Copies of this chain bind each other. A is one copy, B any other.
Amino acid sequence: MKEKLTVIKVGGKIVEEADTLSQLLNDFSLLPGHKLLVHGGGRSATQIAAQLGIESKMVNGRRITDAETLKVVTMVYGGLVNKTIVAGLQARGVNAIGLTGADMDVIRSVKRPVKDIDYGYAGDVKKVDGEALAGLIRKNVIPVMAPLTHDGKGQILNTNADTIAGETAKALAGFFDVTLVYCFEKRGVLSDESDDNSVIPVLTPDLFRQYVKEGVIKEGMIPKLENAFEAINAGVTEVIITSAKAIGQNGGTTVKK
């Protein structure tokens, strides 16, 4: 039987506010068993870019990463945010290591091809080295992954943290019994958007299809859940969608076969 591994993805907002970061680090450090943290970037990059006189361009909610913006996200995500988390976890007895995709070549990506929109230095993940990550994890070294990858030709690429979490969970499914936890603002997938207590506890493919048909699950939640089912189909044991405040607690929506 494989050992259990929890892959947790948290957004940038949680890690850039001192009190929510502190709670996250406490909760993550208390989580039993093998674990891995993927963090987003958040608004601090936008703010620092603005202070440096670099305009942040967004199209459809995605950042356009020009050369100057890439420098800023490499500094903020790969340096400030990542190392603050690592030092904070070390203080809590967790032997963390901060990684971008370039470190140990753990995540190779390609620059997103230009179709209608040129996203600039944005990376689409091609390959996660599950063996290298599993090697660290088995030595109780806890990877803390920044939303940055590389193309193997020296180019760093800005990369969606949800994608990094999903692809990393899949690559590690051959080595561990993986639970992938996506943290967001709500306590789970809601059956009634206006009621925070209407969390759908379990979603199977059949239930998902039914809820979509009924219009209960809609819009941005549909691709999020499609990604979750894709991870399940690729060997991840379960995907939990929950609030960052609920890490280590039962609750949220569990997506499974």
Per-position 1/0 for A96-113, Cβ under 8 A of B? 111110111100000000
Q: Does A207 contact B (CB under 8 A)?
A: no
Q: Which residues of B contact A102 (CB under 8 A)?
A: 83, 86-87, 90, 96, 98
Q: Does A76 contact B (CB under 8 A)?
A: yes
Which one of A148-156, A214-222, A235-243 contacts B? Answer: A148-156
Q: Which residues of B contact A84 (CB under 8 A)?
A: 74, 156
Q: Which residues of B contact A103 (CB under 8 A)?
A: 83, 86, 96-98
How many Å lie between the Cα of A83 and that of B77 in the bound state? 11
Q: Does A91 contact B (CB under 8 A)?
A: yes
Q: Once the chains bind, are A80 and B79 in contact (CB under 8 Å)?
A: yes
Q: Nearest chain-B residue to A25 (Cβ)?
A: B154
Q: A240 CB to closest chain B CB, in angstroms?
A: 28
How many Å lie between the Cα of A219 and that of B48 in the bound state? 40
How many Å lie between the Cα of A95 and that of B82 in the bound state? 20
Per-position 1/0 for A243-257, Cβ under 8 A of B? 000000000000000
How many Å lie between the Cα of A139 and that of B51 in the bound state? 42
Q: Once the chains bind, are A80 and B90 in contact (CB under 8 Å)?
A: no
Q: Which residues of B contact A71 (CB under 8 A)?
A: 80
How many Å lie between the Cα of A153 and that of B87 in the bound state? 8
- Which of B52, B86, B150 interacts with A90 by CB under 8 Å? B150
Q: Which residues of B contact A96 (CB under 8 A)?
A: 102-104
Q: Nearest chain-B residue to A100 (Cβ)?
A: B83
Q: Nearest chain-B residue to A106 (Cβ)?
A: B97
Q: Does A141 contact B (CB under 8 A)?
A: yes
- Which of B80, B87, B91 interacts with A75 by CB under 8 Å? B80
Q: Does A53 contact B (CB under 8 A)?
A: yes
Q: Once the chains bind, are A154 and B53 in contact (CB under 8 Å)?
A: no
- A83-B102, A84-B74 are known contacts. Are A153 and B95 too (CB-CB below 8 A)? no
Q: Which residues of B contact A77 (CB under 8 A)?
A: 79
Chain A interface residues toward B at CB < 8 A: 48, 51-53, 71, 74-80, 82-84, 86-88, 90-91, 95-100, 102-105, 135, 139, 141, 148, 150, 152-156
Known: A78-B79, A88-B154. 10 other contacts (CB 8 A): A48-B52, A48-B75, A51-B51, A74-B83, A78-B83, A83-B100, A87-B155, A87-B156, A91-B153, A97-B103
